[in-house]
Amino acid sequence: GQNIDQPTEMTATEGAIVQINCTYQTSGFNGLFWYQQHAGEAPTFLSYNVLDGLEEKGRFSSFLSRSKGYSYLLLKELQMKDSASYLCAGFHGSSNTGKLIFGQGTTLQVKP
């Protein structure tokens, strides 16, 4: 199966840390992407995990456990501009012919 689950909404405070979880059924996925999408705009690439472990990129980090079908996106030192939807997407198939399957997205609201 290719189900991807994320919480629908989350709220956090400016300056805090928030973790957005994503779980998926493990069959067929060869990597996990995270995208940020502001309302009315296209998604922008945040991170890509193909191996287990933590990938850190500035204020954002992403973690993957393939055996558990689990990933999370960690946002540190939250800023108001981080209010957006965060999309978890599994890469299904081979490198040249595969496609992204998106979760429903998590809408994050950052409050002062």
Evaluate whether 10 touches 109 at the Cβ level (below 8 Å). Answer: yes
Evaluate whether 19 touches 72 at the Cβ level (below 8 Å). Answer: yes
Select from 13-21, 28-36, 52-60, 68-76 the region that touches another protein (CB under 8 A): 28-36
What is residue 93's DSSP assignment?
S
Paired with 44 in beta bridges are: 36
Cβ closer to another protein: 31 or 74?
Answer: 31
Select from 13-21, 55-63, 64-72, 89-97 the region that touches another protein (CB under 8 A): 89-97
Structure tokens at 89: 């997407």
According to CB under 8 A, which one of 61, 69, 103, 110 is a site residue for another protein?
103
Interaction site with another protein (CB under 8 A):
31, 33, 35, 40-45, 48, 87, 91, 95-105
